[in-house]
Amino acid sequence: MNATPGSVALLDTLRAAVGPAHVLTPADGADLTAWEQDWRRRWRGRAAAVVRPGSTAEVAAVVRACAAHGTAIVPQGGNTGLVGGGVPDASGTQVLLGLQRLNRVRGLDAANLTLTAEAGCVLQALQHAAAAQGLLLPLSLAAEGSCTIGGNLATNAGGTQVLRWGNARELCLGLEVVTAAGEVWDGLSGLRKDNTGYDLRDLFIGSEGTLGVITAATLKLAPQPAAVTTALAACGSLDDCVALLNLARARLGAGLTGFEVMGRFALDLVAQHFPALPRPLPGAPWTVLLEQSDVEGEAPARERFERLLEAAIGQGSVADAVVAESLAQSRALWHLRESIPLAQVEEGLNVKHDISLPVSAIPRFCARTDALLRQRWPGVRLVNFGHLGDGNLHYNVQAPPGDDGPRFLAEHEHAVNQVVFDSVAQEGGSFSAEHGIGALKRDELAARKHPVALGLMRAIKTALDPQGLMNPGRVL
């Protein structure tokens, strides 16, 4: 935004709406890097201003003011998104709407098993709020210490508990939204059943800030399990991992709450960059992290786990296994899994893929795609890990050793994507499982989504945001 009379008037209106302390501009000498740069440091934009409202009414006032001036808005929660959707573009004309000050828990209804909270609440804070009442908010991801519930819903985040509880969408019963016109839709409700017309809630979930601003949500809770046990299993192949998954499903039923797979190279990167972390079962081609949540208690849960792993060893799908003996050991195993994204950051940029496949197709997909990539880019390294129980892999392609990561990305990202996404399509999979579209996969969406679906999406966008001011250039 240049210092035109219009933009000066807009800044004055924004200051009046949220208080001068909560409007930050480059002209005032404010350092906006934390808002303008994404978590992976892959995108760096420039905002006209960062505006930080403290209430839904203030969000509505900001949206109305921007609409009146034809100024685009980029909503942002914890800025942990991985597809370049929550940072401004390079124009210097967009208003970055920082939602972290909307951080109140509005209520917890223990008998109805629901929690209502504002969009800027950090996910971990909400997990703690539920736990304080002996309840569980079953949404969990490695970014939970900084991502916000608004961002989780705007991206329909997945994470490590989807296998049992579904993704963010399935945990959301109601929403409060500020529309592109600056109106407030109060759709907060703790109802499990409500068939009263089109589902507006599900339209805003996963819309990545392109249809409106989520300001609060009512979420489903569950009773805390009596015991949570964790195990690590070494498998020789992805076929073995799938066999273990099916055995675990059969033996543990709804008690199976986590099933994560980690390829050897992904764990090698963790060992290289975080050498202090323990590495049980070193050298396994594939390591599976299993989690069981039990209503009975520690001892029966452990026993069931041990019997499962013995059966898997007998069946030949598991070579070796360890069961965590304590909460601390269990945390250490999860820490290993959660350190993979961080180890990748240390290693340098890679070509990230967040793909979804039928579980049954995963071994075939990996064998074919690994070979195609290695043939075309000899020495290329595959950081393959993810939520195998949901058929969701983070199938990332790292430059050959010694190659410059950013250069490899600049030169080959498009071609690598075509190989991987064509292979995904061949198996009836999706090129975006849980991270969303943002700026990163917008062209892919235009190229690969069914034309009728794209037409309907564009019609919805035009109906809800006729001026095209809500996070423009993202998704569509």
Give the nearer residue to ligand FAD in terms of CB position, either 118 or 240. Answer: 118
- Selected from 187, 225, 341, 391, the binder of ligand FAD by CB under 6 A is 341
- Give the Å distances, CA to CA, from 214 to 87, 143, 183, 208: 17, 19, 12, 10
475 Rama sector, left if φ>0, alpha if ψ -120 to 50, beta otherwise: left
Contact between 214 and 169 (Cβ < 8 Å): no
Residue 45 binds to ligand FAD (criterion: CB under 6 A): no
Nearer to ligand FAD, 190 or 473 (CB): 473
Q: By CB under 6 A, what part of segment 143-162 binds ligand FAD?
A: 143, 147-148, 150-152, 154-155, 157-159
Least separation in angstroms between residue 472's CB and ligand FAD is 11
217: contact with ligand FAD by CB under 6 A: no
Q: Residues 99, 121: contact at Cβ < 8 Å?
A: no
Cβ-closest position to ligand FAD? 151
Q: In whole angstroms, how close is the CB of 214 to ligand FAD at the nearest point?
A: 4
79 binds ligand FAD (CB under 6 A): yes
- Of 125-133, 209-217, 308-316, 460-468, the segment contacting ligand FAD by CB under 6 A is 209-217
C-beta of 293 vs 471, nearer to ligand FAD: 471
**Token pair of 341 as six digits:** 């994204």
Site residues for ligand FAD, window 109-128 (CB under 6 A)?
119
Among the listed residues 142, 200, 271, 457, the single contact to ligand FAD using CB under 6 A? 142
What is the size of the binding site for ligand FAD (CB under 6 A)? 37
C-alpha 65/C-alpha 104 separation (Å) is 24
CA 4 to chain centre: 38
Q: To the nearest 10°, the Cα dihedral for 110, 113, 117, 123?
A: 110
Query: Are residues 248 and 271 in contact, defined by beta-carbon separation less than 8 angstroms?
Result: no
- Smallest gap from residue 189 Cβ to ligand FAD (A): 18
Binding to ligand FAD, residues 302-331 (CB under 6 A): none
For ligand FAD, which residue of 45, 53, 54, 85 counts as binding (CB under 6 A)?
85
Nearer to ligand FAD, 138 or 150 (CB): 150
| Strand runs labelled E in 157-245 | 172-179, 184-187, 212-220, 222-223, 227-235
Pairwise CA distance, residues 264 & 24, whole Å: 45
Among 45, 81, 88, 255, binds ligand FAD (CB under 6 A): 81
Q: Is the separation of the CB atoms in 122 and 102 below 8 Å? A: no
Non-local CB neighbours of 393 within 8 Å, separated by 6+ positions: 261, 353, 354, 355, 357, 362, 366, 384, 385, 386, 387, 433
Say how far apart CA 360 and CA 422 lie, in whole Å.
18
Q: In this structure, what token pair is assigned to residue 273?
A: 């960059």
Helix ranges restricted to H, 116-179: 123-131, 149-154, 162-165
Segment contacting ligand FAD (CB under 6 A): 23-31, 110-118, 139-147, 280-288? 139-147
Note whether 218 binds ligand FAD by CB under 6 A: no
Tell me if 158 sits within 8 A of 394, measured CB to CB: no
Which residues from 416-455 bind ligand FAD, rule CB under 6 A?
Answer: 434-435, 438
76 binds ligand FAD (CB under 6 A): yes
Q: In 3-state terms, what secondary structure has residue 212?
A: strand
User: For residues 369 and 471, which CB has a smaller minimum distance to ligand FAD in the complex?
Assistant: 471
Query: Smallest distance from the beta carbon of 148 to ligand FAD, in angstroms?
Result: 4
Euclidean distance between CA atoms 430 and 275, whole angstroms: 35
Interacting residues with ligand FAD (CB under 6 A): 39, 74-82, 85-86, 99, 119, 141-143, 147-148, 150-152, 154-155, 157-159, 208-209, 213-214, 341, 434-435, 438, 471, 474
